Structure 1
Amino acid sequence: MAVKEGFMEVTGGKVWYRMHEGKQENTPVIILHGGPGSSHYSMQGLDVLAEERPVIFYDQLGCGNSDRPDDESLWKLDRFTDELAKVREALNLKKVHILGHSWGTTLAAAYLLSGVTGVQSVIFSSPCLSAPKWAEDQERNRKLLPEDVQKILRECEISGRTDSEEYKEATKEFNRHFVCRLDPLPEILIEGAPYRGTNVYQTMWGPSEFYVTGNLKEFDCTRELGNISVPSLYTCGRYDEATPESTGYYSSLTPVSSVHVFEHSAHMPYLEETEEYIKVIGSFLRKND
């Protein structure tokens, strides 16, 4: 199977992409990774979708193989939606499916709601479509952690020590419950760590998944979900920080949508239940070609 990769110019620098060319007669799917700033690295196993269609990965500016400019003014949602438009244009993706994961769903929703055409369907994988709702969900999730872990998190946030080793270790406990429940962690997550864009993440989101302080803090598109008219699939893990309750709520607001919960996963069902994830995603894409 032919693979093409390279760089393209976007506002602020160059972004890297890889296209697995797949069967040209079927609509391509473009993968929007999480973060902000997490890179495509942990999601690269989704290249198996190329058995049926072209699959496009790209690292958003500020992470992965893409440029990492030291300019915090670039880390805004509208710049990332413009970046996605430029990637589509450069690769001549007139018709496309979009699969966004986590922050990638924020990006996918903002892009769709900007009035673009040619998107045949969208997959909101472990969605974050309201930062305030996300923060509320994580507040509840934190209360399920051991009391000593909760205490460390609270004290470090109050005292401004979210960059301390103590806070990072307590964060790992949250991650073991609600981000990836595999033990040991998959090697791909360990290998992918250097590809993260920490500056992007902290500027747009904050010091951790559950402490939202960045410029996305007020993002909430729930009132606009009724304007998404393309077929939409919402997925999440049973133990996901993107909770099944919130995921179902978003789906209820979206006209042509369905929900799938991966029963043995947290936030990374594409790693925690890979075979089932590919099956569900592949079926939805085929249905909407």
Structure 2
Amino acid sequence: MAGNDDAHVDEFIETEGLVPTSHGRVWAHSRRRGAAAGVPLVIVHGGPGFPSDYLQPLDSLADERPVIRYDQISAGRSDRASDRSAWTVEAHVEHLEQVRGHFDLSRFHLLGHSWGGFLALSYADAHPDRIASVTLSSPLVDSDRWMRDAAALIERLPKADRSSLLAGPTDPGYAAAEAEYYRRYFCSIEPWPLPLQRAADSQDAASYHAMWGPNEFTNTGVLRGQSRVDAVRRLTVPSLWITGADDEARPETIREMASLTARSEVRILPGTHCTHLENPATYETALRSFLQVVDRD
């Protein structure tokens, strides 16, 4: 009987369902090992509109703690938004709070990637008592700073690509130049890893355009001019900042942002915006170590 008990506590338990929000239902997934006792981790994807599939490899942390991720409204397996009032940061904070309540989490670690970092900071600012730590993975923190960084990255492209991007989408070389930008700064693996391709295949262009714009280096949506620098300054919990050496979220910017809050740790890894896919072992080791330390404190 003891052997059966041991087998039971080592089993991975997965659940998924649709969580009601004021703008429709969002799909949420939980994975945990029966014996895992760590503080839960909630993962928030980027985009906006780029579903959580590309972050599925982080489910591997469920051997130590429950891992929860969800698709934001209109993305992936979630409902399409009921109206345009869904395209606000405040609405997304509300949806994340509904996910937290669905899983009855009193306190949890929060990880946000890219735009998900902006959302994680917004949530931590609104509900600081809920958060054990924040991991900001290649985060958007300040839209104007992101655009200045994008301009600097465009300057590194070959002259023909720079010229096409400056000329605009009607230029014959624009699509190829855009693809080169993504290859250098978004994901360098060709073809894209399956989790990333699955996310791309089910992304929601409407929410991406409404909240951000037509591409990573053109900001025309509701996030234009928005910043969460003050939310960084108000952070009181430990924070881990991870970015790639060739990331859209430039290391110089990430170090500067992390310096605005106490109890911050910065890790610059080889790779681009998807360094968690390009260097999974190094990324996972850094994240595990950080979460374990916070759990012990």
- For this structure pair, what is the TM-score category when the shorter chain's length is used for normalisation? over 0.9
Aligned match of 1:268: 274
Residue 102 of structure 2 is aligned to residue 90 of structure 1: yes
Quick check: 1:126–1:235 contact (8 Å CA) kept in 2? yes
Specify which of 132, 135, 143 is matched with residue 123 of structure 1.
Answer: 135
CA deviations on 1:198-255 (whole Å, 9 max, x unpaired) are 1000000001101111110111121332210000011100000100000000110011
Aligned match of 1:283: 289
CA deviations on 1:108-144 (whole Å, 9 max, x unpaired) are 0011111431211110000111000000000000011
CA deviations on 1:68-122 (whole Å, 9 max, x unpaired) are 1363231111000011111101110111000110001000001111143121111
Counterpart mapping for 1:8-47 below 5 A: 8-22=19-33, 23-47=35-59
- Structure 1 segments, 4+ long, off by >6 Å, are none
TM-score by length of 2: 0.92
Query: Does the residue aligned with 1:113 lie in a helix, a strand or coil?
Result: helix
Quick check: 2:24–2:82 contact (8 Å CA) kept in 1? no
How far has the Cα of 1:186 moved from its partner? 1.8
Aligned match of 2:253: 246
Residue 294 of structure 2 aligns with an amino acid whose one-letter code is N
Q: Distance in 2 between matches of 1:191 and 1:74?
A: 24
Q: Distance in 1 between matches of 2:81 and 2:173?
A: 30
Tell me: CA distance 1:266–1:95, structure 2 relative to 1, closer, same or farther (3 Å). Answer: same
Quick check: 1:21–1:55 contact (8 Å CA) kept in 2? yes
Q: Which entry has the higher C-alpha Rg, 1 or 2?
A: 2
Q: Distance in 2 between matches of 1:88 and 1:187?
A: 28
Aligned match of 1:80: 92
Aligned match of 2:72: 60
Aligned match of 2:13: 2
TM-score by length of 1: 0.94
Aligned match of 2:223: 216
How far has the Cα of 1:152 moved from its partner? 1.6
How far has the Cα of 1:166 moved from its partner? 5.0
How far has the Cα of 1:271 moved from its partner? 0.3
Tell me: CA distance 1:165–1:66, structure 2 relative to 1, closer, same or farther (3 Å). Answer: farther
Aligned match of 1:233: 240
Q: Distance in 2 between matches of 1:69 and 1:122?
A: 27
CA deviations on 1:175-196 (whole Å, 9 max, x unpaired) are 1110111233223322332210
Counterpart mapping for 1:137-286 below 5 A: 137-156=149-168, 161=170, 167-262=174-269, 264-286=270-292
Q: Distance in 1 between matches of 2:79 and 2:200?
A: 16
Residue 79 of structure 1 aligns with an amino acid whose one-letter code is A
Q: Distance in 2 between matches of 1:155 and 1:252?
A: 37
Identity of matched residues, %: 35
Gaps of at least 5 residues in structure 2 are 1-11
Q: Which moved more, 1:103-112 or 1:177-186?
A: 177-186
Quick check: 1:41–1:195 contact (8 Å CA) kept in 2? no
Q: Distance in 1 between matches of 2:130 and 2:168?
A: 46
Q: Distance in 1 between matches of 2:54 and 2:226?
A: 25
Tell me: CA distance 1:168–1:189, structure 2 relative to 1, closer, same or farther (3 Å). Answer: farther
Query: Does the residue aligned with 2:168 lie in a helix, a strand or coil?
Result: helix
Specify which of 117, 122, 137 is matched with residue 110 of structure 1.
Answer: 122
